[in-house]
Chain A
Amino acid sequence: MSNALLFAWTGAALCGLGLFGFIVHKHLMRRLLAFNIMGSGCFLMLVGLAQDGRGPDPIPQALVLTGIVVAVASTALALVIFRRWFRLSGKVRLPEDA
């Protein structure tokens, strides 16, 4: 077992953990955090798998760098929308989850 595979397995575990949090929690902020944990798991899997036995691979690293910026943008967008929703309705959950 190599270190790179350990990273990939950890990434898979984070993916499952994030998905679990996403299903179980109803608070929108918790869901956003769970979504980010899932994304981090994917990044870890991508980078970990790619460098298994072949050394660092620039292409997955570049993909993950792009992915991180997109994740930051989507997180910020989600926060702006949540704040607007909270301001308008005073609720921290979606109506179907209430």
Chain B
Amino acid sequence: MLISRIREVTALAAGTDLSLATRRLMDLCDEFPAFHDLRGAAMVLRADYNMGRELGAAEMSGASGSALAERCRQLAAAIGKRAAATGEVIDVPHAEIVFQARQLSKAFRSGGHHFQLGPIDLELRTGRIVGVVGENGNGKTTLLRQIAGLLDHDSGTLAHPHAGTDPYRIRQTIAWIPQRSIRWQGTLLQNLRFQAAVHGVLGDANEDRVLYTLHRLGLTRFKDLTWKQLSSGYKLRFELAKMLVWRPKLLVLDEPIANLDLQAQQLFLQDLKHLAASARDPVAVILSSQQLHEIEAVADDIIFLKNGKAVYSGAADSFDRDRTSNVFELRGVFQRAQLEQALGVGAILHIDDTGLIFRLTTPRNVGPQQVLKAIANADLEMSYFRDISTSTRKLFHQDP
């Protein structure tokens, strides 16, 4: 694991993504005790990067950016040499089960409306991210609130093997980030210090952890701001920072990226992934979202809820592995007939025109390459193409 992490950092330092390079360098120095003495250097690098960002993007693309990249490479090289010299073997942390649910269900009756969530079986392990997807009103938030210990269940069993049965102790290991950030008081810095201190990170360690987190998440310049002075994106990053300083076992996020722009989404999901897979304090993460592709990109497991039932629950990369057909979404300057003509009758099982896109179903042996090639050969102008054969997005279009 260590070797791959060093390779990753070295590659990043050699490339142009200094943001990710500096963050991963910090993670590496923080997570592995052998490099703890380099934490300061990594933090300074990150601080310089953040400062450069504050001065403007042009600053980072000029000489200062090159110098920073060089310093990243030097630090990565130093870490690599140290690892090779010490020959330290770092095991991949054991994925610990932090939450188990068996036949979990909850029913709501309001007026003539009846909704039942579950029964659902679920297991959350440290180091893994579970994405909960589904249309609105299908029970995503209810499920997450039950997992976070905020909502009671009607039947089934819940277990938190690491925390026993004391509800306060259980809640001490769970971080809940709701869709709308709950208003907090005071400055960001005050909150981080307090959050760390009440979870036992005291004295100099407290300051160290807070500063590290601020730099790591690029929040340094916002440290003296209050809740109402922060944008939605930074409020979310603050929630992540609040969690980073005390490192819970389970992180539950309800629609975290709903209000973020594309870049902020990427940044947040990257950090989430790194956080979950931390070598020192791995976290089990479960999050819900409507941004299916982004979630599928980051999640290890997916739960698709439809009418309160888990129509799919399993590894994200093994969804519909035994399918008999492929499904593609495409859009361009062409008509349905032109598409049918380009692909030929044998390559099409079904075309669904939603008005915005075509949803094309082909036999399993007709893959994305064939489809793209056929469209190119027919000289059709295409603006959007996505292979959703192994995406739960397909489930959105299935009848209940």
A and B are partners in one complex rather than unrelated chains: no
Which B residues have a C-beta under 8 Å from some C-beta of A? Answer: none
